[in-house]
Structure 1
Amino acid sequence: MLNVHNLSVSFGGEYLFEEISFRLNGGDRVGLIGKNGAGKSTLLKLLTKDMPLDTGTIAMEKGIRIGFLRQDIDFEQGRTVLEESYQAFEEIKDLESQLEHINHQLAERTDYESEGYNQLMIDLGDITHRYEIIGGYNYQGETEKILLG
């Protein structure tokens, strides 16, 4: 759950928004639209703690992810748009790295009955399950579909 209460932001004494409150529950997906200068990017920066609050509170359950494409992106030289888009999936990329590491360890071991080998198998199952839940097997195809329009 994400809970925003009495959030106010001002620049030079002028309020961009004043005393806004809202709640998002688990599983909610939200799009933020508005005219230029309405405060969309500012609100997202506040929610991601990239900008300090003037007043109000933002409470977030552990594990909540807020994803958005920043207006001021520093693209790495030589990356394609598709490669840059994949960078939004940091958690999936981290899990892929962990899975690769565990699979490499399992391939080199021969102590199949040991506690260490058993723990690696348990870790592999847990990480694979998390990877599936957050869309690890689908993110590349979904990203390509979005970029194609």
Structure 2
Amino acid sequence: MAVLDVEGLTMSYADKKLYEDASFQLEKHEHMGIVGQNGAGKSTLIKILIGKTLPVDGTIKWQKGVKIGYLDQYVDIPAGMTLIDFLHTAFTELYQLNDQMNKLYADYAEKMDDELLTKAGRIQEKLDAN
């Protein structure tokens, strides 16, 4: 099953048609780049995909359980925050889970308690699903 399925996407404004009947799928482990001239509709497409803008027509279906991280292209990074730390804010929950999992593995190395491995495995499954 596709992580993202877009069918029949049509978007236009009064004076400009951006896309008509566009369809595509994004499978797990695939990457997608959106390129084009200024005004071609790249930002609009992203806003449609994340549900911030409604298209004229078409359907956008995300696989159940998918978490979407989005950072606007016009954003002020708080003073004192590194760029990488700011980018991580799009997936704070996942980074926290990863930190929790790593702590469980470190605790397991000291205590050799299999329950710690079981808990870490459950977290790993959640991370793999995202």
User: Do the two structures share a fold, i.e. TM-score over 0.5?
Assistant: yes
Give the residue type in structure 2 aligned to 1:127. Answer: I
User: In 2, distance between residues paired with 1:126 and 1:61?
Assistant: 20
Superposition pairs for residues 51-90 of structure 1, below 5 Å? Answer: 51-66=53-68, 69-90=71-92
Match in the other structure for 1:142: none
Output the TM-score relative to the length of structure 1: 0.63
Unaligned regions of 5+ residues in structure 2, if any? Answer: 108-112
Distance 1:129 1:66, change over 3 A: closer
Match in the other structure for 1:145: none
2:8–2:20 Cα contact (<8 Å) kept: yes
Output the TM-score relative to the length of structure 2: 0.70
Distance 1:12 1:55, change over 3 A: same
- Deviation, 1:67, is 5.1
Give the residue type in structure 1 aligned to 2:49. Answer: L
Matched, 1:124 2:120: yes
Unaligned regions of 5+ residues in structure 1, if any? Answer: 107-111, 135-149
Q: How many residues were matched structurally?
A: 122
Match in the other structure for 2:29: 27
Match in the other structure for 2:96: 94
Rg bigger for which structure?
Answer: 1
State percent identity of aligned pairs.
34
Corresponding residue to 2:52 among 50, 59, 83: 50
User: In 1, distance between residues paired with 2:28 and 2:81?
Assistant: 34
User: In 1, distance between residues paired with 2:78 and 2:96?
Assistant: 19
